[in-house]
Amino acid sequence: MGQPGHHKTLLVGLCSERSIPSHSSTRNISQGIGMLRNVTTGNAYSDGEERRGWFVGSFISPSISPRSSSTVEVKWGVHKEGDRRSEWTEPAETTTLSVLISGRFCLQFPDGEMMLATQGDYALWLPGIAHCWRAEEDSVVLTVRW
């Protein structure tokens, strides 16, 4: 975290104007995905393509990547209207949070279902709860497990 009172400002992409120390750099993500001195940048969609949207977690290789983590998993889920997971998941050993970025997305649980319909709607469920889902519209859902 650094010493109290000593903060570095790092801007990625187009940010509001502010005073930036001369040793800092400003870079648009599209100019180069990679490392910016202890900061990893990338694109959640492309980084998760090979793992059904999961782009942070223990399944990331190499294990020295900052995106490799045994304590948190993050998914950028892009679902076309009509996509569904009709089989129940194995109950996860983690707490799960799904946040709707865009679209309409229905999460089904053993005791009912929940429609994520407004940007920012979320569902959070505890370990041991199975679920399945369906995309009512083209949807983007950010899911975090810990």
CATH number at residue 112: 2.60.120.10
Q: Identify how many contiguous H helices and E strands the chain contains and give both numbers.
A: 1, 11
Q: Does residue 3 form part of some domain?
A: no
Q: Does residue 76 form part of some domain?
A: yes
Tell whether 83 and 136 lie within a shared domain. Answer: yes
pLDDT digits (tens, 9 = 90+) for 46-80: 989 888 889 999 888 888 788 889 999 999 999 99
Radius of gyration of the chain (CA): 18
Tell whether 37 and 76 lie within a shared domain. Answer: no
If we measure between CA atoms, which residue out of 32, 79, 72 comes closest to residue 56? 72
Segment 99-126 shows an average pLDDT of 97
Which residues 6+ apart lie within 8 Å of 83 measured at CB? Answer: 134, 135
How many domains does one find in the chain? Answer: 2
Weakest mean pLDDT among 21-25, 48-52, 100-104: 21-25
Q: Does residue 82 form part of some domain?
A: yes
Question: Is 38 or 51 the better-scoring residue by pLDDT?
Answer: 51
The domain of 107 spans 72-145
